[in-house]
């Protein structure tokens, strides 16, 4: 894991996303993780290249890796990237 994405930063981002933006995490699994039938999801870790999720699909918990389209530089870059990804997923769902 790069210096910009220490375990502490990854944990902080994951806790925030899971507690405050659970619906966005489901969208990541559906739109970018190849699990369109996911009903729930949790973010387990994030690094400069992507995020690790688990998704509930048909009663089963599946691992999901979502790769970013570029390498992120820091936590602020992750914040902006995650927001942009939610916007893209919502637009695609319409």
Residues 6+ away with beta carbon under 8 Å from 41 = 22, 25, 26, 28, 29, 33, 35, 53, 54, 55, 56, 64
pLDDT digits (tens, 9 = 90+) for 4-58: 689 999 999 999 999 999 999 999 999 999 999 999 999 999 999 999 999 999 9
pTM, two decimal places: 0.92
Question: Which domains are delineated in the chain?
Answer: 3-81 (3.20.180.10)
């Amino acid at each position: 894991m790069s210096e910009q994405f220490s375990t502490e930063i990854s944990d902080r981002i994951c806790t925030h996303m899971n507690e405050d933006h659970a619906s966005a995490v489901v969208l990541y699994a559906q739109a970018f993780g190849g699990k369109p039938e996911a009903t729930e999801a949790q973010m387990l870790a994030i690094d400069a290249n992507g995020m690790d999720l688990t998704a509930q699909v048909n009663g089963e918990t599946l691992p999901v890796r979502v790769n970013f389209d570029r390498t992120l530089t820091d936590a602020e870059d992750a914040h902006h990237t995650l927001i942009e990804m939610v916007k893209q997923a919502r637009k695609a769902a319409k």
